[in-house]
Amino acid sequence: MKKVIIIGSGVAGPATALALKKAGIASEIYEAYPGPGDAVGAFMGITPNGQDVLRTLGLYDTVLADGYETKGFHFTNSSGKSFGTVPANTITIKRGLLTKSLREAAEAAGISIHWGKRLKDVQIMPEGGVSTHFEDGSSTEGDVILACDGIHSAVRRSVFPNAEQPRFTGLVSCSSYSNVALPVTKDRAEMVFGKHAFFSYIIKPTGEAFWFANFDIKQDPGRDGLRDKDDAWWHAHLKELFADDQPFISEIIEASNQPIVGYPIYDLATLQQWQNGPVCLLGDAAHAPSPSAGQGASLALEDAVVVAKCLRDVDDPSAALQKFVSTRRERAERAVMQSRRNGSRKTPHGFLGRAIRDTLLPLFLRQGGDATKWMYDYRIKWDEKVE
């Protein structure tokens, strides 16, 4: 194999390029944005399954140094009643720092990243291989294209024009950072089921707080529908949503020292096709969970290593990608559906809905790590050959 073309330089793209490099396969990355977005996005969690991939790629220590480690998720309701804790070793890290670590590692490994390459279309060549054309008039050819360009993938639109569309979950997420004089959350993330919205936060020993809120809306505002909302709007709306909850929530929000970033949450559970010959979708382009299970980055990291193993061990590229899809589909789709269920519990309507949730949630939490073991304990053996 001469070259793999990777579209997208977020989390999945550089991770895939590094895994391919480890497998002895050359690749180049093409990114639509004009340059690195190290300050773009909020923060994300990397759970043990994703951390294991970082170890495989030799990046665990770098990411841990930039992130904050917690050991579990503690759940309470609007009055402060504790439902219990789910154990889960998680690294919370600003998205820009994660993508920066991956990008710099890829560049140090000699992997080229081409910026300002917004995809126009993909052509599968009759004689084999693929050709990509960009809006700036340039093009490139390779043996395989791996689409790592997210839930609104341009590759998916080009190669699978009739594919299922991302689904609006009914939830909006917003987040920011604050400096507060409140107790440190020690080694866990706090999850609060408010009366009208969901709030999560971590307070580090430095006093810096990472926080996000989820609330429901009746109509899909569209992918860009909330970008015109300024900080004043977000503060006023969140103040109203959390007015009946514990006062510290509003205190954390009011202490925000960076703009509040908000967006509608979409997911993508089932596509009829991830692959067409030498073209394959990875990460959120193929299966996009909502943030409610914290698996987006970790699943993308898993994909990176699995697709590299398949291309390493299966001679025919199309057969290798078929093997990748058959290996990953069931697990990825299950994770998306778990995220949907988690999201549906966040903002039940009315007193009765909250009462039912508050009754059933402790029963789930008593199962401890057993209920999430299938998700977090998943490991990929790099040296194990793909059959």
- Reported as a single tens digit per residue, the pLDDT across 101-116 is 999 999 999 999 999 9
Residue 382 CA, chain-centre distance (Å), reads: 22
| Nearest in space to 264 (alpha carbons), one of 215, 201, 198, 212 | 215
| Nearest in space to 336 (alpha carbons), one of 243, 239, 266, 279 | 266
Asked if 223 and 208 count as a contact pair (C-beta separation under 8 A), the reply is no
More confident residue, 251 or 38: 251
Task: Report pTM.
Answer: 0.93
Residue 306 belongs to some domain of the structure: yes
What's 123's domain CATH number?
A: 3.50.50.60
- Token readout for 170 is 């009914």
Residue 330 belongs to some domain of the structure: yes
12-22 and 296-313 helices cross at what angle (nearest 10)? 30
- Token readout for 356 is 């039912």
**Got the DSSP string for 303-351?**
HHHHHHHHHHH-SSHHHHHHHHHHHHHHHHHHHHHHHHHHHHTTS--HH
Residue 86 belongs to some domain of the structure: no
Residue 317 belongs to some domain of the structure: yes
Instruction: Determine the structural domain holding residue 156 and report its residue range.
Output: 4-46+95-167+268-347
- Token readout for 368 is 């401890």
112 phi/psi in degrees, rounded to 5 = -80, 135
Is the predicted pLDDT of residue 148 greater than 90, yes or no? yes
Q: Work out whether the CA dihedral 15, 259, 261, 70 comes out positive or negative.
A: positive
Residue 339 belongs to some domain of the structure: yes
- Token readout for 116 is 């300002």
Residue 153 belongs to some domain of the structure: yes
**Got the DSSP string for 127-160?**
TSSEEEEETTS-EEEESEEEE-S-TT-HHHHHH-
Is the predicted pLDDT of residue 259 greater than 70, yes or no? yes
Residue 142 belongs to some domain of the structure: yes
Confidence of residue 368 (pLDDT cuts 50, 70, 90): low
In the chain, the number of structural domains is: 1
- The CA distances from residue 22 to 29, 111, 133, in Å, are 16, 12, 28
Asked if 151 and 325 count as a contact pair (C-beta separation under 8 A), the reply is no
**pLDDT at position 348:** 58
Region of poorest pLDDT, from 117-121, 322-326, 360-364, 380-384: 360-364
**Got the DSSP string for 153-188?**
-HHHHHH-TTSPPPEEEEEEEEEEEEE--S---TTE
Could you tell me if residue 248 is left (phi over 0), alpha (psi between -120 and 50 degrees) or otherwise beta? alpha
Residue 198 belongs to some domain of the structure: no
